[in-house]
Amino acid sequence: MQAVIPIAGKGKRMTQTYQGPKQLLAVAGQPLVEYALGALPPEVDKLVLVVGGPYEQQIRAYFGSEHQGRTVTYVRQPEPLGLGHAIQQAAPVVEGKFLIVLPDDIYVAEDLQAMVRHEGLAMLAKRTEHPEHFAVLVCDAEGCLVRAVEKPKEPVSDLVSIGPYLLDQEFFELQVPPSSRGEIELPDLVMALVRERGRRVKVLEASFWLAVNDPAQLTNADREMLKHLKVSVST
């Protein structure tokens, strides 16, 4: 199975304190991206990296053609037109079902494994006190997606998408208009699968998640992962 990892962009919220790909910033002694890679299930044997932006060459130099025993394929996002647009650039090289993982968030292996074992399409979600900063989700009685709204001013739920999706080739057939931010949003494309194609997307609640989008979240992630590693060593 392939994991598609969007790693293009400028990391605007980090540029005041750091120049470079934020995914390579150290968190508890290792690059941030390695937490997402370390949580990938064993079924994932290939990485598809969506690159672009000012740090593309640094990313290519870091990963090479093979990383941690997984082959690496690169595709380019020529313009920063949103996360959904970035994932769709992988269409020529992706086969069958695939996993999407964000490289600047921290997950645990158990949650990603639960996704891969799901027979149909699936996504990971978590409840948060600040849903307005994320894609807010509404589910039906069976826990499947019925609505997703990217960064709403008035959230209708505290359940938000945290990035990982398990999708298939039908995803690449879809087109949606740009959002008010001028971007092709990933939740909008997934909702097109639900509304236009009648697909069922199971929403699985994650047991652990840390988002790292700005310096404050980076400091928090460093602190939380140091505590997590201490607990792991003691047990």
CATH number of the domain within which 121 lies: 3.90.550.10
Query: What average pLDDT does the chain have?
Result: 92
With cut-offs at 50, 70 and 90, classify the pLDDT of residue 228. confident
- Three-state SS string over 205-217 comes to ECCCCEECCCHHH
Domain of 26 in residue numbering reads as 2-234
Which amino acid appears at position 11 of this protein? G
Contacts of residue 42, Cβ cutoff 8 Å, sequence gap at least 6? none
As a whole number, mean pLDDT of residues 152-156 equals 88
With cut-offs at 50, 70 and 90, classify the pLDDT of residue 234. low
As a whole number, mean pLDDT of residues 80-94 equals 96
CA dihedral in degrees (162, 199, 83, 128; nearest 10)?
-20
C-alpha 213/C-alpha 204 separation (Å) is 23
Concatenated DSSP letters for 7-43? --S--GGGTTT--S-GGGSEETTEETHHHHHHTS-TT
The tens digit of pLDDT for each residue in 191-206 reads: 999 999 999 999 999 9
The tens digit of pLDDT for each residue in 180-194 reads: 889 999 999 999 999
Contacts of residue 105, Cβ cutoff 8 Å, sequence gap at least 6? 36, 162, 163, 209, 210, 211, 212
Question: Does pTM top 0.85 for this prediction?
Answer: yes
Counting the structural domains of the chain, the total is 1
The tens digit of pLDDT for each residue in 15-57 reads: 556 678 899 999 999 999 999 999 999 999 999 999 999 999 9
